[in-house]
Amino acid sequence: MNSSLINQLIDNQLAEWETARRNYRALESVQVKELMLGNCPVKVQFNPARIVSSAAKVNARSLKERPCFLCAGNRPAEQQGLADGDYTWLVNPFPIFPRHLTIPVNHHTPQLIGDRVGDLLRLTREADEFVLFYNGPRCGASAPDHAHFQAGNKGFLPLGEAIRSCRREPLLTHGSARLSLVTEYICPLFLIEAREADEARALFDTLYRALDQPAGEPEPMINLVAWYEAGGWSLCIFPRIRHRPSCYQAEGDANILLSPASVDLGGVFITPLEKDFEKIEGGDLQQILAEVCPNREQIDAIINRLNRQQS
């Protein structure tokens, strides 16, 4: 697999699949506004087609009652894919990125990252023109019952450029790979930089064991964003403490239908409703992030557990 084949898939699907073509054409004219959160620029995108994801019911009963849209037998007849080992690359018909893909596992199995971070690193290296991301089952995934990644073209998310100027606190190394805490970004994140996949995976596994795992949940709440360039990986790990902010369920003027996932944490906030796009300001976004992401005290607790693992 490589970026050329993936781009060819996208072009072929947009030529043949009316639903996808219509939604990608609509994406060209979506409204976007830019805001500053601290020293970091972010974007807010008014994208009505994403109501399917933002308003998705992900409780156990709702998942049982609907056919899984990532299973091959339930996909639209027009949706063609590229097989890649245990995964298939698919064009996402409800795009956020100008070139947006979903990469489901070929069998129906829960959305969990623990044993799949090696797959994420491999896919990221293959698709070096794309950023890949993972939404945990209660961190923005609209199909938490079917393991998958997503991908979008590089240069769309502000994240990669923003963290270049953010302060980093070194935490661990493994071989030539390093794990840092990135501060001064819009929310806390851990960053793994590595030139060897096995070293990146070792650092991820160490951090994963130090993260909080809520009672009754199968894994820690996390979002991941990864890319490969100049012979190395960057893997951003965003710990989470909450699925959706209070404004998601609020009534009246306080309601904002925004369910944060990796793209939002990467600096592009998706609002499927025009009322929210028009009124949302930097303070609203900061409040949303404060509710769903850990504070400094909670981050320090993770770091303390990391340190205890090494002693």
| Amino acid of residue 16 | E
Give 4's contacts (C-beta < 8 A, 6+ positions apart): none
- pLDDT for 140-155, tens place per residue? 888 899 999 999 999 9
Look at residue 65 in the predicted model and tell me its pLDDT.
66
The DSSP secondary-structure symbol of 75 reads S
Look at residue 56 in the predicted model and tell me its pLDDT.
52
| Amino acid of residue 191 | L
Look at residue 54 in the predicted model and tell me its pLDDT.
52
Look at residue 61 in the predicted model and tell me its pLDDT.
65
Count of C-beta atoms within a 10 Å radius of residue 194: 24
The DSSP secondary-structure symbol of 163 reads G
Domains delineated in the chain:
3-310 (3.30.428.70)
Cα separation of the two ends of the chain: 41
User: Which of 16, 147, 1, 123 has the alpha carbon at shortest distance from 79?
Assistant: 16
Q: How far apart are CA 125 and CA 302, in angstroms?
A: 29
Beta-strand pair 177-182/87-91? unpaired
Phi, psi (rounded to 5 degrees) for 287: -65, -40
Q: How far apart are CA 206 and CA 171, in angstroms?
A: 11
Model pTM above 0.85: yes
Looking up tokens 């950023």 gives 131
Beta-strand pair 189-194/177-182? antiparallel
Below-50 pLDDT ranges, the chain: none
Looking up tokens 């992401």 gives 293
Give 252's contacts (C-beta < 8 A, 6+ positions apart): none
